[in-house]
């Protein structure tokens, strides 16, 4: 979600980052102010899951101008934040999706700290052993392991189809993007994508692998992406509509 207005460029400088807090809609959110020599306007973005705000500003902009910009768009922020999903805490009894299928979290402390999938008469279970305090971290680690197994196979599949090779594959927990590809050929993915349905996981990998050949989002890129993943449009729309809810889940 972004909003902005145009402003005349001043002389380009370095790119400092200022971090502070901003209160809006009854929340205190981290606010990151990024100065960019390429910026011709102030751009305001709400991070996925409503976990923070980011403003990109032209060089030399005074703090007062940033504050006035925020004040003018207070209503816009409140309206958008009201639509952000609540942030459920991972705990016994709630359900989280694994490959798009809901699993109820069950804590069984008697065994060593592992995570297993089972089923009862009510549906699929995510059984977490060990101390209760470690339960959220163990589920996050489980999703990371699943991501590594699933995504590495898909990277091989799509890079072979493309005739390109990935230099490295990394897994992160990012709040504003699901994946990235560097010019050196390094691919990064959010392990949270393992909560999405399998076609969405496949789309994300195809999207980032396509960047190995097209480092942009132009027509050639999207044509290539659709070649690797014919369901690109549907999957992209699903992630746009549902991704925020997955980013909002708290694994702490």
Ranges of CATH 3.30.2010.10 domains, the chain: 95-248
158-187 per-position pLDDT tens digit: 999 999 999 999 999 986 789 999 999 999
Q: Which CATH architecture has domain 95-248?
A: 2-Layer Sandwich (3.30)
At 123, list the tokens: 């549906």
| Predicted TM-score (pTM) of this structure | 0.71
For 107-133, the pLDDT digits (tens) are: 998 878 789 999 999 899 999 999 999
Among 162, 252, 152, 234, residue whose Cα is nearest residue 197: 234
Task: Count the alpha carbons within 13 Å of 77 in the hemisphere toward its beta carbon.
Answer: 27
**Which of these ranges, 74-78, 138-142, 147-151, 168-172, has the smallest mean pLDDT?**
74-78
């Amino acid at each position: 979600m972004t909003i902005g207005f145009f402003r005349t460029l001043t002389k380009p400088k370095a790119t400092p980052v200022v971090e502070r807090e901003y209160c809006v809609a009854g929340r205190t959110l981290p606010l990151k102010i990024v100065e960019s020599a390429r910026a011709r306007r102030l751009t305001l973005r709400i991070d996925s899951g409503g976990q923070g705000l980011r403003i990109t500003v032209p060089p030399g902009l005074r703090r007062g101008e940033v504050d006035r910009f925020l004040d003018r768009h207070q209503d816009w922020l409140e309206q958008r934040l009201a639509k952000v999903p609540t942030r459920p805490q991972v705990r016994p009894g709630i359900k989280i999706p694994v490959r798009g299928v809901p699993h109820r979290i069950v804590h069984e402390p008697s065994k060593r700290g592992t995570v297993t999938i089972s089923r009862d008469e009510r549906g699929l279970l995510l059984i977490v052993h060990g101390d209760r305090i470690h339960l959220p971290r163990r589920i996050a680690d489980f999703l990371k392991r699943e991501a590594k197994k699933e995504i590495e196979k898909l990277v091989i599949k799509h890079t072979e189809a493309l005739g390109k090779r990935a230099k490295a594959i990394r897994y992160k927990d990012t709040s504003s993007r699901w994946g990235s590809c560097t010019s050196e050929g390094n691919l990064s993915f959010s392990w949270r994508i393992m909560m999405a349905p399998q076609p969405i996981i496949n789309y994300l990998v195809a999207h980032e692998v396509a960047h190995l050949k097209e480092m942009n989002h132009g027509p050639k890129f999207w044509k290539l992406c659709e070649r690797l993943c014919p369901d690109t449009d549907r999957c992209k729309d699903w992630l746009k509509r549902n991704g925020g809810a997955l980013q909002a889940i708290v694994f702490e």
